A and B are shown apart, each in its own frame.
Chain A
Amino acid sequence: MNEAARCLAALPFVCLAGFLVNGLLGRRLGRQGGTAVGVAAALASFLLAIPVAREVFSTGEAVKADLFSWIDTSDLQVKMAFLCDRLSVVMLLVVTGVGSLIHLYSAGYMSHDASVPRYFAYLNLFMFAMLLLVLGDNLLLTFVGWEGVGLCSYLLIGFWFDDPEKAYAGRKAFVVNRIGDFGFLLGMFAIFVVFRSFDYETIRANLGDSNIRGRLLRTIEVGLPFLDLKISLVGAITMALFIGAIGKSAQIPLYVWLPDAMAGPTPVSALIHAATMVTSGIYMICRLSHLFALAPPTLDIIAGVGGATAIFAALMGLAQNDIKKVLAYSTVSQLGLMFLALGTGGFAAGFFHVFTHAFFKALLFLGAGSVIHAMSGEQDMRRMGGLAGKLPATFGTMLVGTLAIAGIPPLAGFFSKDEILWRAWEGCLTGKHVGHGLVLGLLGSVASVLTAFYMFRLLAMTFFGSSRGSAEAHSHAHESPWTMTLPLAALATCSVAAGFLNVPHVLHGGAHFSAWLAPVLAPYPEVVTAEQFTHHGAEMGLMIVSTLLALGAGGAALWIYVKKPGLPASVIQGSAAMGQLYAIVRDRFYIDEAYDRMVVKPVKTTALLLWIFVDVLVIDMLVNVAALVAEVVSEAVRRLQDGVVGTYAVWFLAGAMLLVGYFLYILGVA
């Protein structure tokens, strides 16, 4: 192993060590010690990532580190090995970089909390699991990380576990994710049956094998009594894996856990539920893009689910008053856009949005955290307002984040979102698949417009106008310490700059990011070189229209919520229909209630009924009838019960001996 490989091998374990130290010795370390250990571990992993990244960037080749053989039987070998290639190096830098900033931020944010060491223990454990997910050189190791981040998410959402609602939110996240994992597991099993391996490199290499390809593309018929399904094997595999991605990356119909996950501390929301973990689904699909590219029907479903989620979540984001809830729905919506891109074959486009979104969404969450911190825990935007002067650094950086996510040029979100919208509209604008492209394009564009609106609404309600909270809370509001504003500034810088990595050809950029990833992602539907591309006008037009729409929506939001704060209320109260519509959106379309009524309660009722009727009434009754027969025996035994255990034992032994002896006797005589 060379130096880069050694760093690669070590860096996840630095975080594991941080977890162990804080987890085992936390009480002795105390608040400051615990903070120091936690932050140092994250920072060390970032520092170790630098030589790895340098090596990958300079050679373009993957850095690998073989650690040990994890499972080793004659027909199942799984190695504990890390792979840092062109794709994972990006995630590696995001996870360790943004992760370190959020650790630093947490040092300030959590400084008053009673269980700081436990917090940092979980956070370090999360880093470890996320690094396994990202760096694992095989699907099983990714799954280990996948479950690990789920665990940490559970622990951190329920971090303040004495609030039953928070504990419930954590459990909900875990169980809903497990439903997704069910699909992931089955997809993984099928991959193993086809490829006899979980290794990414083996899978990719064997995709070229005509036997395997034929097997993957062969149609299998799923003959169910009510459904005669015809699907190619690779279609089934990719659908199963996508179900896993739906769970982890909070898409319809399994997105319901993410808004509730806001119960966790805000830095956690930034790290886990915005920048890293929730993008794992997209990462996994990119990792296996060559497999997904063989299953166009799956890709269509991915695009549809992503587009629908993007718009649906954005709608719900419009009507939230909890600052974190707005951001949560925004995250669901942005993840939807990423899936929309993947579904059109824009693996690089989707992944580029993962990259930029990590910066500006983490920034927005941390900014929200700074506001909440300043307002002593207040999260309702209706009691905020006029904080721009009080929290200048927070306001300035959040403004950058808002511009970025709204897609205002030249910030990062503009470039990444533009790429996605182009992928969505492409079919329509180039005349290849007009209907298909129109639907996807509209889904993406409307979601983007809504994004600009609710984000500027958030900005206006929080920072502009006059204070609507108590005068006391407002006067106490103060800017956060440097540990919190420094990460804000760093993330704001990235939110401005990151887009320039992938300036499209139409703007005379090099599209470096996409080019960098090209060797590891599947070219789908086909490769179009810059020279072959002739739709510059359409692309340019889309870009301009999108920007104008975003500016318009943002301006409208500012105008309404700053100048006419009474307007939304009067519209809602204006007519009964509007009021009802608003209530439905605000109450999130009653999806949670529907799930509760249609899934959770029926399962519980079935369980109870089965228990009472089958176990207690049927089976046990049969047993009790048998017991009646045996009562004669027990009557005899009762007479022998003199309360002395020794006597029981002797009787039992004697009985057993007699029984055995009797049979032995028969045997001997016969």
Chain B
Amino acid sequence: MNAPILSILLLLPVAGAALVALIPRENAREARMAALLATFLTFLVSIPLWTSFRPGDTAMQFVETRAWVPALGLTYKVGVDGISVLLVLLTTLLMPVCILASWSVQDRVKEYMAAFLLLESAMIGSFVAQDLLLFYVFWEAMLIPMLLLIGVWGGRRRVYAALKFFLFTIVGSLPMFVAILYAYFQSGAQSFDLEALRAALQPSGSAPLPLGASEARWCFLAFALAFAVKVPVWPLHTWLPDAHVEAPTAGSVILAGVLLKMGTYGLLRFAIPLFPAAAAEFAPMMLALALIGIIYGSLMCLAQEDMKKLIAYSSVAHLGFCVVGMFLWNDKALSGSILQMVNHGVSTGALFLCVGVLYERRHTRLLEDFGGIAKVMPAYAAVLVIVTLSSIGLPGTNGFIGEFMILLGSFEAKPLVAILASTGVVLGAAYMLWMVQRVLFGRVTHEENEHLGDLRSREWATLVPMIALIFVIGVAPGIFLKRIAPSVEAWNRGIRAAIKVESEKRLEEEARRKAGLPPVEVPGPKEPRK
């Protein structure tokens, strides 16, 4: 508990990257081993986040605070709670898997490994940062290695995909940066510390609100845009299929497994808590977009011929479930939503690994190039079926618990939302099993497929942890939920209360204005300290 675990987690991959950079170019093997070692070590260091985490405690844990640039209000403050701890663990677990899955990368190995390691630090940083500016630095820092992974090690249309990814992300992120600064100045908090900023934006007692209603709406929208692009929320999703198709296998795994969660996590940690009343106003819109995402994303899957594209669109649908769970202020739905973020990382990550297995052998991902694979690769077939079942939420697997809790909670809050979202359950089975049939079943129709080798030990090493998690979460969700649920309950309580206070204050302001009374003095931007 006393060791600065989070800081070590942030620094280890960077150190690994530096180490990899020192390895001579021709020693590709050493570069791989060094990266594997660094990510594995990072994973080992992260284990106390599971073992020493206090499940009932809803406050931030493993907190480290250091003044950094006091003149700017920038502090180095990191911590995790029930909402983020599993996401950090997911990241540290997926990284060694990704490195192993990248063993066959031959081109510029050390740069590739370094990019991955830097990406890990940036991702962990985004999940643990408790200072808005610090978060933004990590958030933007993630962009660079991911862009390189797609743009340099990608497929044929990598430049297009990378540019699209970059454009979408930057268009989303810059307004958020402006909103961060605006909120900072208006709040007079003198600090980017999330807690301080939140307190300043939602002052207690009768103190007036520093942001006007429409200002708060704009700020929320700016934040929500940045995060919605990452999720991705319909109709901001079209970068995802291209990015996935072009990205190398491990890039897809980390993109689906962790990066998309950055969007949903950001909404939960920043966008909603900082501007709760605005979030409540836009909740119907977010729900509608998420529901469209579920149904539309599922329909898209039925029209795809490329396995990666299909899985990418299925992510749009799955993340739609997560977003639904977040805007209902319902404990079950939100717990399910967070668990589903982890589940999606595991299941979809594993699906991309499975696609990678075939791609390495056949250099194609088109469904029509396969068929009858179950005959030649029976173990692979079993794995793919298990992963598919988890993706369509079969009981006993992780996917069921998440989906079920989201739907149950939604039904409690807004039955219509649950009814519409449940159609995704039907469509999900339709497109995933259709994919499985076209890849695995039937006769082997392509000569090249007749002598494909079954899973190799390196591939087993990447898939076994995923399968284990699929069943562990499915059978014993309690050990995960007991970490998530208390934080979720506190979060919902806080948001509900904040919405109430803020709307009451707004009504009061409105009433004063109507009565012709002067508004309560709103403190303007405070003078920065000299």
Contacts and interface: CB of A to CB of B under 8 A. Distances in A.
Interface in A32-81: 69-76
Contacts, number: 178
A151 interface: yes
Contacts of B181: 663, 667
A606 B422 contact: no
B344 interface: no
Contact of B478 (A71, A75, A147, A603): A71
A26 to B, nearest CB: 10
B478 A193 contact: no
A178 B429 contact: yes
A627 B396 contact: no
Contacts of A168: 437
Contacts of B152: 645, 648
Given A186-B419, A607-B303, A144 B395 contact: yes
B20 interface: no
8 contacts: A73-B485, A144-B395, A164-B443, A167-B442, A189-B408, A634-B163, A664-B72, A664-B74
A76 B411 CA distance: 14
A168 to B, nearest CB: 7
Given A71-B401, A171-B434, A634-B163, A610 B296 contact: yes
Given A182-B425, A604-B303, A649-B148, A623 B443 contact: no
A70 B477 contact: yes
Contacts of A23: 382
A640 interface: no
A656 interface: yes
A205 interface: no
A668 interface: yes
B426 A72 contact: no
A164 B441 contact: yes
A622 B238 CA distance: 11
A611 interface: yes
A352 interface: no
Interface in B164-190: 164, 167-168, 171, 177, 181, 185
A182 B434 contact: no
B3 to A, nearest CB: 29
A656 B138 CA distance: 11
Interface of B: 69, 71-74, 108, 111, 115, 137, 140-141, 143-144, 147-148, 151-152, 163-164, 167-168, 171, 177, 181, 185, 235, 238-239, 296, 299-304, 331-332, 335, 372, 374-375, 382, 389, 394-396, 400-401, 404-405, 407-408, 411-412, 415, 418-419, 422-423, 425-426, 429-430, 433-434, 437, 440-443, 475-478, 481-482, 485, 489, 528
A660 interface: yes
B247 to A, nearest CB: 16
Interface string A170-210: 01001100110110011001101100000000000000000
Given A71-B481, A649-B115, A171 B437 contact: yes
Contacts of B235: 614, 619
Which DSSP category, helix, strand, loop or mixed, fits chain B's interface?
helix
A652 B146 CA distance: 12
Contacts of A25: none
A16 B193 CA distance: 52
Given A161-B374, A182-B426, A652-B147, A611 B300 contact: yes
B300 A610 contact: yes
Contacts of A189: 407-408, 411-412, 415, 418
Contacts of B239: 623
A646 B235 CA distance: 35
Contacts of A652: 144, 147-148
Given A603-B302, A607-B302, A645-B148, A76 B108 contact: no
A385 interface: no
Q: Give the most central of A23, A192, A607: most B CB within 10 Å.
A: A607
A630 interface: yes
B144 A649 contact: yes
A253 to B, nearest CB: 15
A197 to B, nearest CB: 12
A663 B302 CA distance: 45
A74 B485 contact: yes
Nearest to A144: B395
Nearest to B478: A72
Given A162-B375, A604-B303, A645-B148, A75 B332 contact: yes
Contacts of A611: 299-300, 303-304
Given A151-B394, A162-B442, A652-B148, A175 B478 contact: no
Nearest to A155: B385
A663 B408 CA distance: 45
A645 B440 CA distance: 38
A615 B316 CA distance: 13
Given A162-B441, A168-B437, A627-B163, 11 more contacts: A70-B478, A71-B478, A76-B332, A147-B395, A174-B429, A186-B411, A189-B415, A193-B411, A604-B303, A659-B140, A667-B72
Contacts of B301: 607
A670 B528 contact: yes
Nearest to A150: B394
A241 to B, nearest CB: 14
A610 B425 contact: no
A540 interface: no
Interface in A233-274: none
Interface string A137-177: 00010011001100100100010011110011001001100
A538 interface: no
B238 A623 contact: yes
Contacts of B442: 161-164, 167
Contact of B412 (A72, A193, A610, A656): A193
B332 A627 contact: no
A175 B425 contact: no
A622 to B, nearest CB: 9
Contacts of B430: 175, 178
A626 interface: yes
Nearest to A651: B144
B261 to A, nearest CB: 21
A641 B322 CA distance: 39
A164 B436 CA distance: 12
Contacts of A596: none
Interface string A73-97: 1111000000000000000000000
A608 interface: yes
A82 B249 CA distance: 44
Contacts of B74: 664
A614 B235 CA distance: 9
Given A143-B395, A148-B395, A627-B163, A76 B408 contact: yes
Contacts of A607: 299-303
A69 B419 contact: no
B521 to A, nearest CB: 22
State the 6 A-B residue pairs at the shortest beta-carbon distance, nearest first. Answer: A167-B441, A189-B411, A144-B395, A164-B442, A607-B299, A161-B441
Contacts of B163: 627, 630, 634
Q: Give the most central of A69, A174, A645, A660: most B CB within 10 Å.
A: A645
B467 to A, nearest CB: 12
B144 A76 contact: no
Given A144-B396, A668-B71, A660 B408 contact: no
B296 to A, nearest CB: 7
B20 to A, nearest CB: 12
A620 interface: yes
Contact of B238 (A162, A620, A664): A620
A653 interface: yes
Contacts of A663: 177, 181
Interface in A618-670: 619-620, 623, 626-627, 630, 634, 645-646, 648-649, 652-653, 656, 659-660, 663-664, 667-668, 670
Contacts of A148: 394-396
Contact of A186 (B115, B382, B394, B422): B422
Given A630-B167, A652-B144, A663-B177, A185 B407 contact: yes
